[in-house]
A and B are shown apart, each in its own frame.
Chain A
């Protein structure tokens, strides 16, 4: 049997598997080349949270994050995947340390990129101080890895979206790919409603949530470089494309990012709703964007929005 024959069933399965529905382990298995994944600190080591049992809460053997290395189209990558169904994919002490360690290893190696499959509500409330520290350590580790020449790619399409400190980490990555389901923000809908009132943000208005934080909006305002359909194969292809197109990192990148954000604020700062932003961006029928199928949306976004490749 040739290599192509071996890979074929995997591609078909990756195409047929919803990224949103898949477990973190299934995402890794189908995203990387078949059989190439090697886990660091696997579940058999039982490196569980030291805090949860104080709260009489169940632990998970991998503390909700899987880290390791493997191959993507024949090239080595480091990879981390959060399990959004365990405590909302939230960061705790061990969970965070596993990602920090992976990024520091990547920094040492210099040449191997990191894929982070973010699926998180933010920091775990039961270990909030440790979790907040973990977010800060991870952000630093991402920037240090990028400074050493490592590409750090965020892939976002899970059921917990990418919120809280996860949104901050996403903002530090070299590039992001997001699906429609993969919401990216810092404060989640319920948090905004609790703090600012229902007139400011009605968290039960799902359409409002999607068009404010969802993947299509993030792609259209330049918060994410690529929009991916909700399949593991689409995220694999997006990761390959981003690894190909993402450039280096330095003070020029940060200056370009600063002017990108200033420009964005200037152009859209007065808009009251995402639909107004899309219209201002030149989307012909802005109200139809949420209903567009993925392929048509990608076509539209590619036509409209040149990605600032020098920024981030």
Chain B
């Protein structure tokens, strides 16, 4: 297992009012993303625990691209990764932001 941590400044606050959302499961080639609205409005943090070691640079690129595209200000993402490919990671992060923007169910 490898722990990774990223901290970014976001352009703006993430949409919606939901405090917490979770998407995905921890399985081979999959991951879970827990999003929590706990940070100042222009900050974004990601804490990752991954089963696939040595991919820090790829995570760095995927995370930077995600923050640029979705501007998830105020959100902290906690990730348990079972060795997902970068496209799956991007998809789950996007789903998590989308869920946070929806109303409480």
Residues of chain A touching chain B, judged by Cβ–Cβ distance below 8 Å, are: 23, 25, 29, 34-35, 37, 42-44, 46, 53, 56-62, 83, 85-86
Contacts and interface: CB of A to CB of B under 8 A. Distances in A.
B25 A44 contact: no
Contacts of A83: 25
Contact of A35 (B20, B22, B25, B105): B105
Nearest to A29: B105
Nearest to B104: A35
A85 B27 CA distance: 6
Contacts of A44: 20, 34, 36
Given A43-B34, A44-B34, A53-B1, A61 B105 contact: no
B98 to A, nearest CB: 15
A298 B36 CA distance: 45
B30 A25 contact: no
Contacts of B22: 25, 43, 61-62
- Residue of A35, A46, A56, A86 with most chain B CB atoms under a 10 A cut-off: A86
The prevalent SS among residues of A at the interface is loop
Contact of B80 (A34, A59, A85): A59
Contacts of B1: 53, 56-58
A85 to B, nearest CB: 4
Interface in B9-65: 20, 22, 25-27, 30, 32, 34, 36, 49-51
Contact of B81 (A37, A56, A58): A58
B51 A60 contact: no
Interface residues of B, number: 19
A18 B105 CA distance: 21
Nearest to B36: A44
Given A23-B25, A83-B25, A86-B27, A61 B32 contact: yes
A23 B49 CA distance: 21
A60 B80 contact: yes
Contacts of B20: 42-44
A86 B104 CA distance: 26
Given A58-B81, A85-B27, A85-B30, 16 more contacts: A29-B105, A35-B105, A43-B20, A43-B32, A46-B78, A58-B50, A58-B51, A58-B82, A59-B49, A59-B80, A60-B32, A61-B22, A61-B32, A61-B34, A86-B26, A86-B27
A21 B26 CA distance: 15
Nearest to A46: B78
Contacts of B80: 58-61
